Structure 1
Amino acid sequence: MSARFNLAKENSEAYAAIGKLDTLGRESSIPKKLQELIKIYASCLNHCAFCIDMHTKEALENGETVQRVMGVNAWREAPFYSDKERVVLELVEEVTFIHQHGVSDSVYAELERLYSEKEIGELYLLIATINAYNRLGIMSQLQPKTDK
């Protein structure tokens, strides 16, 4: 499979706008390890190989464990995620598949219990931004480089 249209090259202004959203997310109060779990899980749900590769490596570089990175797809069954992480991973799933039933009242109520309104907004931004990147990567058929 070869790469297609490259938004960063063909419309750098649009790509830079998404980059600004990404920067806001990275600079948020959400812990870096959770940010990367969000990005890995959304990328797995969207089947974006390029983003899975990139964010898995970034998570490991930021001190995340192999066990938690590898286990994120089975977070419901895995014992090594906190309640705060679990509700965020549920939110990632509901936002990524928003066309199915939106964000449920039960997930939102749990978010309100565990996070401030500012943090909820930051989580929304992180999830929306990685979903945008995933869709661009998939449409463009971006491929990760093979590790040597």
Structure 2
Amino acid sequence: MEKPGRLYIDRQHPLAYRSALEFVDTVKKIADEAGLGRDLVELINVRCSQINRCPSCLKAHVPQLVRAGIDATKIAVIPAWRDVALFSAEERAVLEMAELATELPQARDADARYDEIASVLTPDQVSAAAWIAVAINAFNRISILSGHPVR
């Protein structure tokens, strides 16, 4: 059920939404080709969705993160990932990319953070992680602007 005064923009313009879904399919392919595992992809999806406070994307992606093998303790502390020693170098790099792509910090800060990411991931993985973050950020906005409910 739609929120009063809100349109489901995905239903209002289904062609645009289908194009967004095709974009996600392309991003999934480049992530696979770059060797980013499902766990790393879903860490990006969850962290971006947390930052954007998108309940419907969190409802969709947290179970996928569990299916990808991330345990409940790690999931619980994702917002505090910098403060715990639970995450691998690769996990920390993709979480950094998720935040970098979602928050869009000032250039000086972004350069240092990007260098840190690039010291862990291959160029293809850096690019794929960025595209994953771009894609989930787009879907966060589609869902938030539409007021998609969580059932």
Residue in 2 that maps onto 1:13: 15
- Is 1:74 matched with 2:80? yes
Query: Which of these residues, 98, 113, 128, is aligned with residue 119 of structure 2?
Result: 113
One-letter amino acid of the counterpart of residue 150, structure 2 = P
Q: Once the 2 structures are TM-superposed, how far is the Cα of residue 26 of structure 1 from its aligned partner?
A: 2.4
- Is 1:101 matched with 2:106? yes
* 2-structure distance, mates of 1:5, 1:47: 19
- Is 1:62 matched with 2:68? yes
One-letter amino acid of the counterpart of residue 55, structure 2 = A
Task: Give the conservation status (yes or no) of the 8 Å contact 2:47–2:79.
Answer: yes
One-letter amino acid of the counterpart of residue 91, structure 2 = E
CA deviation profile, 1:63-111 (whole Å, cap 9, x unmatched): 221111111111011221012211221221121111x415611122122
**Structure 1: gaps spanning 5 or more residues:** none
Q: Once the 2 structures are TM-superposed, how far is the Cα of residue 61 of structure 1 from its aligned partner?
A: 2.2
Residue in 2 that maps onto 1:86: 92
Q: Once the 2 structures are TM-superposed, how far is the Cα of residue 50 of structure 1 from its aligned partner?
A: 0.7
One-letter amino acid of the counterpart of residue 106, structure 2 = H
TM-score (norm 1): 0.88
User: Equivalent residue of 2:70, what SS?
Assistant: coil
* 2-structure distance, mates of 1:129, 1:65: 24
- The two structures, once aligned, show a CA RMSD in angstroms of 1.8
* 1-structure distance, mates of 2:26, 2:84: 30
